[in-house]
Structure 1
Amino acid sequence: MTKVVLTVDDSRTMRDMLRLALAEASFEVVQAVDGVHGLEVLSQTEPDVIITDINMPNMDGFGFIEAVRRDERRRGTPILVLTTESDAAKKQRARAAGATGWIVKPFDPAKLVDAVRRVAA
Protein backbone atom coordinates (compact mmCIF):
# COMPACT_ATOMS: atom_id res chain seq x y z
CA MET A 1 0.00 0.00 0.00
CA THR A 2 1.34 3.43 -0.97
CA LYS A 3 2.29 5.72 1.90
CA VAL A 4 1.09 9.32 1.72
CA VAL A 5 3.37 12.23 2.66
CA LEU A 6 2.08 15.77 3.23
CA THR A 7 4.74 18.42 2.57
CA VAL A 8 4.21 21.94 3.91
CA ASP A 9 6.62 24.57 2.57
CA ASP A 10 6.18 28.07 1.17
CA SER A 11 8.96 27.56 -1.41
CA ARG A 12 7.70 26.17 -4.72
CA THR A 13 11.23 24.96 -5.51
CA MET A 14 11.45 23.08 -2.22
CA ARG A 15 7.97 21.54 -2.75
CA ASP A 16 9.05 20.42 -6.22
CA MET A 17 12.28 18.89 -4.88
CA LEU A 18 10.39 17.07 -2.14
CA ARG A 19 7.76 15.78 -4.57
CA LEU A 20 10.44 14.52 -6.95
CA ALA A 21 12.47 12.73 -4.24
CA LEU A 22 9.41 11.17 -2.59
CA ALA A 23 7.56 10.22 -5.78
CA GLU A 24 10.69 8.47 -7.09
CA ALA A 25 10.60 6.39 -3.87
CA SER A 26 6.93 5.48 -4.57
CA PHE A 27 5.35 7.79 -2.00
CA GLU A 28 2.15 9.65 -2.82
CA VAL A 29 2.81 13.36 -2.20
CA VAL A 30 0.22 15.93 -1.12
CA GLN A 31 1.39 19.54 -0.79
CA ALA A 32 0.54 22.73 1.09
CA VAL A 33 2.05 26.24 0.87
CA ASP A 34 1.92 27.17 4.59
CA GLY A 35 0.53 26.00 7.93
CA VAL A 36 -3.00 27.31 7.29
CA HIS A 37 -3.16 25.55 3.93
CA GLY A 38 -1.59 22.46 5.55
CA LEU A 39 -4.49 22.24 8.02
CA GLU A 40 -6.98 22.60 5.13
CA VAL A 41 -5.27 19.77 3.24
CA LEU A 42 -5.23 17.64 6.41
CA SER A 43 -9.00 17.94 6.64
CA GLN A 44 -9.22 16.11 3.29
CA THR A 45 -6.44 13.52 3.50
CA GLU A 46 -4.83 11.03 5.89
CA PRO A 47 -1.05 11.30 5.48
CA ASP A 48 1.26 8.66 6.94
CA VAL A 49 4.00 11.28 7.43
CA ILE A 50 4.08 15.10 7.45
CA ILE A 51 7.14 17.15 6.46
CA THR A 52 6.99 20.83 7.37
CA ASP A 53 9.16 23.92 7.08
CA ILE A 54 9.41 26.26 10.08
CA ASN A 55 9.64 29.72 8.50
CA MET A 56 6.43 30.31 6.52
CA PRO A 57 3.86 33.11 6.19
CA ASN A 58 0.33 32.94 7.71
CA MET A 59 1.16 30.08 10.12
CA ASP A 60 4.72 28.93 10.79
CA GLY A 61 5.81 25.34 11.32
CA PHE A 62 5.61 25.57 15.12
CA GLY A 63 1.98 26.70 15.00
CA PHE A 64 1.20 24.07 12.38
CA ILE A 65 2.73 21.24 14.46
CA GLU A 66 0.86 22.39 17.58
CA ALA A 67 -2.44 22.53 15.65
CA VAL A 68 -1.87 19.04 14.22
CA ARG A 69 -1.10 17.62 17.66
CA ARG A 70 -4.30 19.13 19.11
CA ASP A 71 -6.27 16.85 16.76
CA GLU A 72 -6.60 13.48 18.52
CA ARG A 73 -6.58 11.58 15.22
CA ARG A 74 -3.20 13.11 14.30
CA ARG A 75 -1.32 12.68 17.58
CA GLY A 76 0.55 9.66 16.27
CA THR A 77 1.30 10.99 12.78
CA PRO A 78 5.08 11.45 12.43
CA ILE A 79 6.09 15.04 11.69
CA LEU A 80 9.54 15.78 10.28
CA VAL A 81 10.77 19.37 10.29
CA LEU A 82 12.73 20.33 7.15
CA THR A 83 14.35 23.73 7.58
CA THR A 84 17.47 25.84 7.12
CA GLU A 85 17.41 26.40 10.89
CA SER A 86 19.90 24.44 12.98
CA ASP A 87 19.52 26.34 16.26
CA ALA A 88 19.25 24.02 19.30
CA ALA A 89 16.54 26.17 20.92
CA LYS A 90 14.39 25.94 17.78
CA LYS A 91 14.91 22.17 17.61
CA GLN A 92 13.79 21.92 21.23
CA ARG A 93 10.76 24.11 20.53
CA ALA A 94 9.81 21.88 17.59
CA ARG A 95 10.18 18.76 19.76
CA ALA A 96 8.08 20.35 22.49
CA ALA A 97 5.40 21.17 19.89
CA GLY A 98 5.36 17.51 18.83
CA ALA A 99 7.88 17.11 15.99
CA THR A 100 9.25 13.61 15.46
CA GLY A 101 12.52 14.58 13.75
CA TRP A 102 14.59 17.37 12.19
CA ILE A 103 16.24 17.54 8.76
CA VAL A 104 18.38 20.51 7.71
CA LYS A 105 18.11 22.03 4.20
CA PRO A 106 19.57 21.50 1.74
CA PHE A 107 18.60 17.86 2.10
CA ASP A 108 20.09 14.72 0.59
CA PRO A 109 17.16 13.01 -1.24
CA ALA A 110 18.30 9.51 -0.24
CA LYS A 111 18.61 10.48 3.44
CA LEU A 112 15.22 12.21 3.34
CA VAL A 113 13.54 9.14 1.85
CA ASP A 114 15.30 6.95 4.43
CA ALA A 115 14.04 9.16 7.29
CA VAL A 116 10.49 9.11 5.92
CA ARG A 117 10.60 5.32 5.55
CA ARG A 118 11.82 4.94 9.15
CA VAL A 119 9.03 7.02 10.69
CA ALA A 120 6.30 5.76 8.31
CA ALA A 121 6.86 2.10 9.22
Structure 2
Amino acid sequence: MQTVIIVIHLMIVSVLIGAVLLQKSEGGGLGMGGGAGFMSSRGTANLLTRTTAVLAVGFFITSLFLSWLASYDRKPSSILTPASQSAPAGGATPIQPPTSGGGVLDTLKKVDEQQQQAPSAPQAPRSQ
Protein backbone atom coordinates (compact mmCIF):
# COMPACT_ATOMS: atom_id res chain seq x y z
CA MET A 1 0.00 0.00 0.00
CA GLN A 2 2.72 2.42 0.99
CA THR A 3 4.76 1.59 -2.12
CA VAL A 4 1.78 2.34 -4.38
CA ILE A 5 1.24 5.72 -2.69
CA ILE A 6 4.95 6.54 -2.98
CA VAL A 7 4.91 5.76 -6.72
CA ILE A 8 1.80 7.93 -7.21
CA HIS A 9 3.42 10.68 -5.14
CA LEU A 10 6.59 10.60 -7.25
CA MET A 11 4.57 10.73 -10.48
CA ILE A 12 2.64 13.76 -9.18
CA VAL A 13 5.90 15.44 -8.18
CA SER A 14 7.52 14.93 -11.58
CA VAL A 15 4.45 16.22 -13.49
CA LEU A 16 4.18 19.16 -11.07
CA ILE A 17 7.79 20.13 -11.70
CA GLY A 18 7.20 19.96 -15.44
CA ALA A 19 4.03 22.07 -15.21
CA VAL A 20 5.78 24.74 -13.18
CA LEU A 21 8.71 24.87 -15.59
CA LEU A 22 6.39 25.20 -18.60
CA GLN A 23 4.65 28.28 -17.23
CA LYS A 24 5.52 31.71 -18.52
CA SER A 25 7.57 33.91 -16.25
CA GLU A 26 5.50 36.97 -15.34
CA GLY A 27 8.34 39.13 -14.09
CA GLY A 28 10.96 37.98 -16.54
CA GLY A 29 13.40 37.39 -13.70
CA LEU A 30 15.47 34.93 -15.72
CA GLY A 31 15.16 36.83 -18.97
CA MET A 32 13.01 34.13 -20.54
CA GLY A 33 9.60 35.75 -20.00
CA GLY A 34 9.26 37.44 -23.35
CA GLY A 35 8.95 36.10 -26.85
CA ALA A 36 6.23 34.33 -28.73
CA GLY A 37 5.73 30.62 -28.72
CA PHE A 38 3.13 28.03 -27.96
CA MET A 39 2.72 29.51 -24.45
CA SER A 40 1.63 32.92 -25.71
CA SER A 41 -2.11 32.27 -25.61
CA ARG A 42 -4.16 32.98 -22.50
CA GLY A 43 -6.00 29.64 -22.63
CA THR A 44 -2.82 27.60 -22.33
CA ALA A 45 -1.69 29.68 -19.37
CA ASN A 46 -5.03 29.10 -17.61
CA LEU A 47 -4.78 25.37 -18.29
CA LEU A 48 -1.27 25.21 -16.82
CA THR A 49 -2.35 27.24 -13.78
CA ARG A 50 -5.28 24.93 -13.08
CA THR A 51 -3.15 21.85 -13.70
CA THR A 52 -0.55 23.15 -11.25
CA ALA A 53 -3.22 23.80 -8.62
CA VAL A 54 -4.70 20.30 -9.00
CA LEU A 55 -1.26 18.69 -8.86
CA ALA A 56 -0.37 20.74 -5.78
CA VAL A 57 -3.51 19.52 -4.00
CA GLY A 58 -2.64 15.94 -4.99
CA PHE A 59 0.89 16.45 -3.69
CA PHE A 60 -0.35 17.64 -0.29
CA ILE A 61 -2.92 14.85 0.00
CA THR A 62 -0.38 12.12 -0.79
CA SER A 63 2.14 13.74 1.56
CA LEU A 64 -0.36 13.77 4.42
CA PHE A 65 -1.44 10.20 3.68
CA LEU A 66 2.18 8.99 3.63
CA SER A 67 2.91 10.68 6.97
CA TRP A 68 -0.24 9.12 8.45
CA LEU A 69 0.80 5.69 7.15
CA ALA A 70 4.28 6.08 8.64
CA SER A 71 2.89 6.91 12.08
CA TYR A 72 0.02 4.38 12.01
CA ASP A 73 1.89 1.54 13.77
CA ARG A 74 3.68 3.71 16.32
CA LYS A 75 2.75 3.26 19.93
CA PRO A 76 2.46 6.35 22.10
CA SER A 77 5.35 6.92 24.45
CA SER A 78 6.13 9.46 27.06
CA ILE A 79 9.33 11.45 27.05
CA LEU A 80 9.18 11.75 30.84
CA THR A 81 9.18 8.03 31.66
CA PRO A 82 11.18 5.68 29.44
CA ALA A 83 9.35 2.59 28.19
CA SER A 84 12.01 0.14 29.37
CA GLN A 85 14.90 0.64 31.71
CA SER A 86 17.73 -1.75 31.09
CA ALA A 87 20.92 -2.25 33.04
CA PRO A 88 23.83 -0.17 31.73
CA ALA A 89 26.32 -2.06 29.61
CA GLY A 90 29.87 -2.63 30.75
CA GLY A 91 29.08 -2.83 34.46
CA ALA A 92 28.90 0.93 34.88
CA THR A 93 27.04 2.21 37.90
CA PRO A 94 24.08 4.47 37.20
CA ILE A 95 24.31 8.05 38.41
CA GLN A 96 21.95 8.75 41.26
CA PRO A 97 20.45 12.22 41.54
CA PRO A 98 21.33 14.10 44.71
CA THR A 99 18.79 13.61 47.47
CA SER A 100 19.61 16.62 49.61
CA GLY A 101 19.50 20.04 48.00
CA GLY A 102 21.97 20.32 45.15
CA GLY A 103 21.21 20.85 41.55
CA VAL A 104 22.51 20.14 38.12
CA LEU A 105 25.98 21.48 38.87
CA ASP A 106 26.36 19.16 41.88
CA THR A 107 25.29 16.20 39.76
CA LEU A 108 27.81 17.11 37.05
CA LYS A 109 30.54 17.44 39.66
CA LYS A 110 29.78 13.95 40.97
CA VAL A 111 29.85 12.55 37.44
CA ASP A 112 33.30 14.09 36.87
CA GLU A 113 34.55 12.60 40.14
CA GLN A 114 33.25 9.15 39.17
CA GLN A 115 34.90 9.36 35.77
CA GLN A 116 38.23 10.38 37.28
CA GLN A 117 38.18 7.41 39.64
CA ALA A 118 37.52 4.98 36.79
CA PRO A 119 40.57 3.67 34.88
CA SER A 120 41.43 6.01 32.05
CA ALA A 121 43.10 3.41 29.84
CA PRO A 122 41.04 2.23 26.89
CA GLN A 123 39.52 -1.19 27.30
CA ALA A 124 39.17 -3.87 24.65
CA PRO A 125 35.61 -4.82 23.80
CA ARG A 126 34.38 -7.97 25.49
CA SER A 127 32.53 -10.64 23.56
CA GLN A 128 29.45 -12.05 25.21
| TM-score, normalised relative to structure 1 | 0.20
Higher strand share: 1
Higher helix share: 2
| TM-score, normalised relative to structure 2 | 0.19
